[in-house]
Structure 1
Amino acid sequence: MNAVTQTLALDGELTIYRASEICELLKSALGARQDLELNLSGVTELDSAGVQLLMAAKKSAAASQCALRLIDHSPTVLEVFEILNLAAHFGDPLLVPAVPQ
Structure 2
Amino acid sequence: MFELIHDPQQQPERLTLVGSLTIYEVRQAHEALLAALAGSAAGGSWQLDLGQLEELDSAGAQLLLALQRQLTQQQASLEVVSAADGPRELLEVLHLQSLLPITPTAQA
Tell me the TM-score normalised to structure 2 length.
0.76
8 Å CA contact 2:82, 2:102 repeated in 1: no
The amino acid of 1:14's aligned partner reads L
Shift of 1:40: 0.4
Aligned counterparts of 1:52 and 1:79: Cα–Cα separation in 2? 15
SS at match of 2:65: helix
The amino acid of 1:29's aligned partner reads A
Q: Does 1:52 align with 2:59?
A: no
Shift of 1:91: 3.2
Unmatched 5+ stretches in structure 1: 95-101
The amino acid of 1:51's aligned partner reads A
One of 28, 33, 56 as aligned partner of 1:26: 33
| Matched-pair identity in % | 32
Higher-helix-fraction structure = 1
The amino acid of 2:22's aligned partner reads T
Aligned counterparts of 2:61 and 2:97: Cα–Cα separation in 1? 12
The amino acid of 1:47's aligned partner reads D
Aligned counterparts of 1:80 and 1:49: Cα–Cα separation in 2? 11
8 Å CA contact 2:12, 2:47 repeated in 1: yes
Q: CA RMSD in A?
A: 1.4
8 Å CA contact 2:45, 2:77 repeated in 1: yes
8 Å CA contact 2:23, 2:60 repeated in 1: yes
Structure 1's 39 and 93: CA in aligned 2 closer, same or farther, altered over 3 A? closer
Higher-strand-fraction structure = 2
Aligned counterparts of 2:62 and 2:12: Cα–Cα separation in 1? 23
8 Å CA contact 1:35, 1:67 repeated in 2: yes
Unmatched 5+ stretches in structure 2: 1-10
Structure 2 residue aligned with 1:6? 13
